[in-house]
Structure 1
Amino acid sequence: MRVFVEHNEYFKLPANFETDIIMVGAGAGIAPFRAFVVERVEREATGHNWLLFGNPHFTTGFLYQAEWQQHLKKGSLTKLDVAFSRDQAEKTYLQDHLLENSSDVFGWLENGAQFYVCGDKNRLGGAVLTALTQVVQKEASLSAEDAAAYVKNLRKQRRYLEDVY
């Protein structure tokens, strides 16, 4: 088996432990977020942690389910939204949860949250970027161009970070 490591120097937790984070991951894309939450617990970070996780099926794909439930119970995970796309007639994806929670997503961003995306580049990366732009457009009452500029500025500030493959 061939293995390679791609360095991503910017995909890391914010230096300020009070900064809120929104983590969007699908499938194995959940792995860095598991480490993020554990590190924030160890460092006694006061920022809020919101995880949006998706996979095709609940029974076989809710990775680290017990850990996430414990983090929710302890308060080290503020919010958890899951999408299991193949478990119901109408498919539900992570971007749907972003749109459904647009007010909260935008509120967190306006309060300085960092936004992370990890998973499949083709299926997750573009869909989340599009949904986030729609969230900003709706919640800030901006044009599509201005909403795209807002998200582009998040990237420039390194508050929108991706590890997509």
Structure 2
Amino acid sequence: MKIIVKLFFILGIAFGGLGLLYSFSMLFALNGLGEIFEINEARSVKTEIIRDSTHIRILYSYKVEGKVYQDNYKMFVEYFEQCGIDTIVVKYNKYFPMVSFIDGVPLKIRQQKINMFLSTFFLVFLILVWKLSNRDKWIKTYEEVGNRPWLYPDDKTIKNSFRRLVNRLFKK
């Protein structure tokens, strides 16, 4: 049981760490931390706008050096109108052309900042629980759960299904 508790902790740390690393690298590639990379405007862009009553979805694809890249945005109609965009201009990172954004809509940078905050919060929560909790009590509790009566096999000699269930629940 100690191995299982430790495994869940390690998987949680790995999951949170990978989320933090991905969000930070995307924020870095989108120039969310300053003008680090050169950003170019995509020339051959195909866009499709799907609009319903509350959301707007912008699908776009662009070509860089013979490779086609595609991405999409989904946002509220009010937010799109608040950005005040007349024409959709797609910009991409010169060194990482798969990283792109629509000029004038800071949605991707904001999303990466939120993901970084959530990943950091998750990691801090896991570390605090691991450091401040009584792991031996957890292990004992989970071992007791493994001995619960509803996990005992059915007694096939009892024909009534209700009595068989009661016998299974209250077996000692």
Q: Please report the TM-score for the alignment, with normalisation by the length of structure 1.
A: 0.19
